[in-house]
Chain A
């Protein structure tokens, strides 16, 4: 029985770099270009992995530690999610806090590494990243609260598993609102368009990209890979809430998840094509809207 969570974790970890490729491909198609191959991130990772690393003389051990901790904590967070619809690799009551905490730990180290370089641009990016995270986290936790109250289970395994199937007929509006809120959090946490533009090359406007300017070689590969896994994680949350898979057989549930993740990537690509990124001072407003949506869902559930 332990095999199924491991296999689905490996499948999601293996397929994660596909998602940014799909999103970028959709974006290219909608703007009339051919675009990079869908597998581009795999080639980039392979290329970066073979390259050497350059460390600035001002950096300390934190700069070298950050990519490793980021990748490890993101993968560990992935093992908390019930990717096959019923069981997670690791599960304990309250693991939703561990999930958010592990992602927060990775971000914290990345921010420290950005500050460690002493570059003023990276410090600016770090400050913005933390600002966005400050507004994204309440929305995330309110969504989790909606799920906890709807399912009566404090474990992610239950919140997204079998109890959710039973909760759907009773709490459908709240769950849809929570999923919408989670999607906005996804866009913010994975640095996609209305919040941050992954393709911008101007340090003044970048948030996430500017923090990783000084990383190179395998370190950069780890950061890019962790970014794609994070997209897969939040995608799994959205898909998990919208399509409860607790009653499906494990392989089928995994198939549905992968199809859902592809759909999320397509949706992200569409959002990126039809929206301009928001002005920096309007980003918190978007995330407060996400919080309000989740709060409305919670109100409906408590009423």
Chain B
């Protein structure tokens, strides 16, 4: 049978498809939360044995990506009382097919980026496709909340890529990255509130109407 981390990586890709295919804001947040849980389990599954470094990384990821940020986003859509439906700029079917294309692209590029240390063929393609799909969500969904979700997915892709070097990267750097995302999403949350108060809508396209 395949090792556990391959299964986790496949599930990460499936949560990406879930975000692309769903029409509900709350469902995208749930998908990102589940993705956070998967990513927290990944460093433990990827390397044999247990070290304080990876346990800390897993715990930090779990708290920030699977609990705090999703709870914050859920609060944001409740407070802003936005419509619960996503209004994509390109259709759900088209974005789903683009997502499938992103996965295929990831798998076709990955053999040119060999990783010396790990015996996994799926880590690099999953990381690449997650970054591309995050970018897709970020650019094709017009609601501010879904753009935050897209940003999170994009960052999750970078995180997966970073896991290939998890033993080398100092712990402090990783904590710094987590803090960075936390602050980033926090600021975006505040911006979301303000867009909402200003325009009674979360459509970020209307930001161009801002005047001082």
Contact A173 B17 (CB under 8 A): no
Contact B92 A303 (CB under 8 A): no
- In the complex, A46 has a CB within 8 A of chain B: no
| Interface positions of A from 227 to 253, Cβ below 8 Å from B | none
CA distance A21 to B104 in the complex (A): 41
Which residues in A have their C-beta under 8 angstroms from that of B17?
A: 289, 292-293, 296
Task: Tell me which of A172, A289, A299, A300 contacts B96 (CB under 8 A).
Answer: A289
User: Per DSSP, are chain A's interface residues mostly helix, strand or loop, or mixed?
Assistant: helix
CB distance from B132 to the nearest CB of A (A): 13
- In the complex, A284 has a CB within 8 A of chain B: yes
| Interface positions of B from 46 to 76, Cβ below 8 Å from A | none
Task: Tell me which of A172, A292, A299 contacts B2 (CB under 8 A).
Answer: A172
CA distance A173 to B10 in the complex (A): 8
Contact A284 B125 (CB under 8 A): no
CB distance from A80 to the nearest CB of B (A): 29
Contact A302 B21 (CB under 8 A): no
Contact A173 B107 (CB under 8 A): no
CA distance A115 to B196 in the complex (A): 51
- In the complex, A295 has a CB within 8 A of chain B: yes
CA distance A139 to B17 in the complex (A): 16
Task: Tell me which of B7, B21, B107, B110 contacts A289 (CB under 8 A).
Answer: B21
Task: Tell me which of B21, B99, B100, B122 contacts A303 (CB under 8 A).
Answer: B122
- In the complex, B185 has a CB within 8 A of chain A: no
Which of chain A's residues has its CB closest to B11's CB? Answer: A173
Which of chain A's residues has its CB closest to B110's CB? Answer: A303
| Interface positions of A from 255 to 303, Cβ below 8 Å from B | 282, 284-285, 288-289, 291-293, 295-296, 299-300, 302-303
CB distance from B90 to the nearest CB of A (A): 12
Contact A296-B103, Cβ < 8 Å, known A173-B10, A303-B121: yes
- In the complex, A52 has a CB within 8 A of chain B: no
Contact B107 A299 (CB under 8 A): yes
A173-192 near B? 1/0 per residue, CB < 8 Å: 10000000000000000000
- In the complex, B13 has a CB within 8 A of chain A: yes
Contact B107 A302 (CB under 8 A): yes
- In the complex, A169 has a CB within 8 A of chain B: yes
Contact A296 B13 (CB under 8 A): yes
A-B pair count, CB < 8 Å, reads 52
CA distance A291 to B103 in the complex (A): 13
CA distance A124 to B56 in the complex (A): 59
Which residues in B have their C-beta under 8 angstroms from that of A288?
A: 92-93, 96-97
Contact A295-B121, Cβ < 8 Å, known A289-B17, A300-B10: no
CB distance from A289 to the nearest CB of B (A): 5
CA distance A155 to B2 in the complex (A): 27
Which residues in A have their C-beta under 8 angstroms from that of B96?
A: 285, 288-289, 292
Contact B97 A169 (CB under 8 A): no
Contact A295 B122 (CB under 8 A): no
- In the complex, B1 has a CB within 8 A of chain A: yes
Which residues in A have their C-beta under 8 angstroms from that of B104?
A: 295, 299
Which residues in A have their C-beta under 8 angstroms from that of B99?
A: 292
Contact B93 A284 (CB under 8 A): yes
CA distance A285 to B99 in the complex (A): 13
Scoring B10, B100, B104 by chain A CB atoms within 10 A of each residue's CB, the highest score goes to B100
- In the complex, B174 has a CB within 8 A of chain A: no
Which of chain A's residues has its CB closest to B21's CB? Answer: A289
Which of chain B's residues has its CB closest to A302's CB? Answer: B107
CA distance A209 to B10 in the complex (A): 38
CA distance A120 to B122 in the complex (A): 52
- In the complex, B6 has a CB within 8 A of chain A: yes
CA distance A172 to B2 in the complex (A): 8
Contact A173 B103 (CB under 8 A): no
Which residues in A have their C-beta under 8 angstroms from that of B2?
A: 172-173
Contact A303 B107 (CB under 8 A): yes
CB distance from B122 to the nearest CB of A (A): 7
10 examples of A-B residue contacts, CB within 8 angstroms = A169-B1, A172-B2, A173-B6, A282-B23, A282-B92, A285-B91, A288-B96, A292-B21, A295-B100, A296-B100
Residue ranges of A at the interface with B (Cβ–Cβ < 8 Å): 169, 172-173, 282, 284-285, 288-289, 291-293, 295-296, 299-300, 302-303
